[in-house]
Amino acid sequence: MHKVLGDKRATFILLGPALLIYTLIMVVPIVWSLFYTVQDGNPITGFTFNGVANFVTFFKDPAAWQAIGFTLTYALVLTVLQVGIGYLLSLMYVFWIRRGSGLVRTIIFFPVVLPTVAIALLFQKLFEAAPATGPVNALIEMFGGHSVDWFGQPAAAFWIIILMDLWRSMGFYAVLLYAGLVDIPDDLLESARLDGASGWKLIRTIVLPLSLPVLLSSLIFSINGTLKVFDTVVALTNGGPGNATTPLTVYMFQTSFTYGQYGYGSTIALMLTILCLLFTVFIFRSTRRDLTQEG
Amino acid sequence: MTATAAIVSPLGRAPERVPRHRRGVRDFFVRLPVRAVIAVLLVIEVYPMVWMLLGSFKTQDEFLNAPFWALPRSFSLDNYVSVFTTGGFGQYVLNSVLAVLPSLVLILLLGVAAGFALEVMVWKGRGTVLLLFLAGIMVPTQMILLPLFTIYFRIGLTGTLWPLILTYVATGLPLTVFMMATFFRAVPREIFEASTLDGASMLRSFWSIGMPLVRNALFTVGLVQFFFLWNDLLIALTFTNSSSLRTIQVGLLNFTGQYGAVQYGPTFAAIAVNVVGTLLIYLFLNQQVMKGLTAGSVKG
């Protein structure tokens, strides 16, 4: 019977086009990009081989370290906050609102479908100081404070980026984690309650261990997505003030397309890829070890 | 920490011990903080949208001199008109549609066929090919931009929407193939074996049995991909080198800088135009969108 499902011609016709496009536009450029990392120049000036010079430059480049620092801080802070708040929300959906949480879930989820550029422009105006006073500064002035130039200070700009992404994504993570929580069997919770577990203890001993797998995958998704942050930063602060909020992705884009350094740009892109891989493997292994230890 | 404790505390209450007639009153007060938390959350999530919509009707003078909570003095459509006339948004919307729709059709068609070939068909090496597709989900798009820029330039595609369409299809395929393969995994092989016994070729079984079986899944994946493509900035920014090729996202990004001083009303109207498409889809199809986006969250 496997003869039918092993029809080579059909397999070729079905898989061929997808594999061809994927290979030509993803696989080949990835390999091609690796060759760029050992060269200097761009298609207009021509390329010269320069060995590991791009990597040496990268590790000596203060702007690159600044970008790595921002990328890591942003990814870690946002991941902890969005998965943490998402988890609290999902606990609220399941244990507090229970039935009827559908509407709340749906409303808090919606910003994730909106274009980042539009939201970023809106947040710029929300936090604007001059010429028009945005709602946030207007409220500060109402309570007797002075308007703050949020985008003029690195720390303030950083937190606005975090705040906007939280606004966008907390409902999304809440729904993702909610799916894991509703899978916990009711009788399990009920029997734990009969055994005297309640409140915090119930969460810690029953709910948390059982939702660990979905928490883990949320962490991986979040780290993977936040390390690649681009739209938010480009549209909200464009990396400023100075280069205080420039992540690796934006630094790569500027290096490649503003300054035309294809070799160095590819090196930065490769570093970003390695960073994504390292973090995924790291989270995966560390949580796996924990699980086996706790039995 | 205190927030956690506050949220979980009602779990511990034992309603059986409270006399029946007092439960309603007690429940009301116990539920009050929850309701307050929910109300604050909903206001935080929804208010920016309301502010945007109201702002899109205001004049420059109202933005500079009236407080932010003031309602617009008139609901004139002037701002929206200038978005499409001086702002050139008509062209941007058209470009987005022309780039996203063909990409979407190709992604779904190629993706469902590849998913079928990788999951239902039996052949050596299919595990490796599936892994090859999966790797594409992990790798940041930045990795492929520079070589693609060179390739498109050399074969003369620069200056058209083709670079966008081709890149969208290739970057959309990994997730689609992965999701479609997962859906086909749930379909019993016997169905396809039976149909071939009845004389259908494998291609025909795919088209008239496999496709209809995953129709709903295809719709969900299509929605997810639509959001990714419509909201894309990175690829559009890289391959649209002239203003006549700009997609709606690139157009909006460049919108504020166009007049020197920020034109608030038109900017707000432009944001509203940008947001309305995805918001309307969400209004009608929110359950499918939520299901699809969380299933496709591997993309990050």
- At B125 the three-state DSSP class reads coil
Selecting from A1, A113, A133 the residue whose C-beta is nearest the C-beta of B227 gives A113
Kindly provide the b/e burial profile for residues A159-168, where b requires at least 16 CB atoms within 10 angstroms of the residue's own CB.
ebbbbbbbbb
Of the candidate ranges A54-68, A169-183, B181-195, B228-242, the one whose mean pLDDT is the lowest: B181-195
pLDDT for B7 equals 39
pLDDT for B210 equals 87
Q: Torsion over CA of A109, A114, A119 and A122, rounded to 10 degrees?
A: -100
User: Which among A97, A121, A226, A282 is the top mutation candidate for probing chain B, defined by the most B β-carbons within 10 Å of its own β-carbon?
Assistant: A121
pLDDT for B147 equals 94
Q: Which residues of B touch A15 (CB under 8 A)?
A: 113-114, 117-118, 129
pLDDT of A10-49, one tens digit each?
888 999 999 999 999 999 999 999 999 998 888 888 888 8
Q: Which backbone phi and psi does B240 adopt, to 5 degrees?
A: -105, 95
Q: Domain A62-294 in CATH: superfamily?
A: MetI-like (1.10.3720.10)
CA-to-CA separations, B195 to A62, A138, A266, in angstroms, rounded:
64, 69, 50
Average pLDDT estimate for B56-72: 84
What mean pLDDT is reported for chain B? 84
The CA radius of gyration of chain A, in Å to the nearest whole number, is 24
Task: Find out whether the peptide bond into B10 is cis, omega within 30 degrees of 0.
Answer: no
pLDDT for B52 equals 92
pLDDT of B145-194, one tens digit each?
999 999 999 899 988 999 999 999 999 999 999 889 988 988 888 888 88
Q: Report residue B11's pLDDT band, with 50, 70 and 90 as the boundaries.
A: very low
Cβ atoms B57, B79 nearer than 8 A = yes
| Residue percentage of chain A with pLDDT more than 90 | 50
**Cα distance between residue B228 and residue B251, in whole Å:** 17
Domain positions in chain A = 62-294
- At A177 the three-state DSSP class reads helix
pLDDT for B258 equals 52
* Domains of chain B listed by start with CATH number: 2-78 (no CATH), 87-299 (1.10.3720.10)
Looking at chain B from residue 88 to 147, which residues have their Cβ under 8 Å from any Cβ of chain A? Answer: 110-111, 113-114, 116-118, 120-123, 129, 132-133, 136, 138-147
Give the residue on B whose Cα is nearest the Cα of A170.
Answer: B45
Looking at chain A from residue 221 to 240, which residues have their Cβ under 8 Å from any Cβ of chain B? Answer: 221-222, 224-228, 230-231, 234-235
CA-to-CA separations, B36 to A86, A271, B7, B102, in angstroms, rounded:
18, 46, 12, 46
pLDDT for A216 equals 86
- In this structure, chain B runs to a length of 300
Q: What is the pTM of this model?
A: 0.88
Average pLDDT estimate for B275-285: 91
Average pLDDT estimate for A111-123: 93
Closest CA relative to residue B248, chosen from B167, B164, B171: B164
pLDDT of B194-249, one tens digit each?
887 777 788 888 888 888 888 888 999 999 999 999 999 999 999 988 888 999 99
- At A143 the three-state DSSP class reads coil
Is the pLDDT at A210 greater than 80? The verdict is: yes
pLDDT for A290 equals 54
Task: Find out whether the peptide bond into B33 is cis, omega within 30 degrees of 0.
Answer: no
Which ipTM score applies to this complex?
Answer: 0.89
**Cα distance between residue A252 and residue A156, in whole Å:** 24
Q: Which backbone phi and psi does A205 adopt, to 5 degrees?
A: -90, -30
Closest CA relative to residue B97, chosen from B219, B230, B271, B227: B230
pLDDT for A194 equals 82
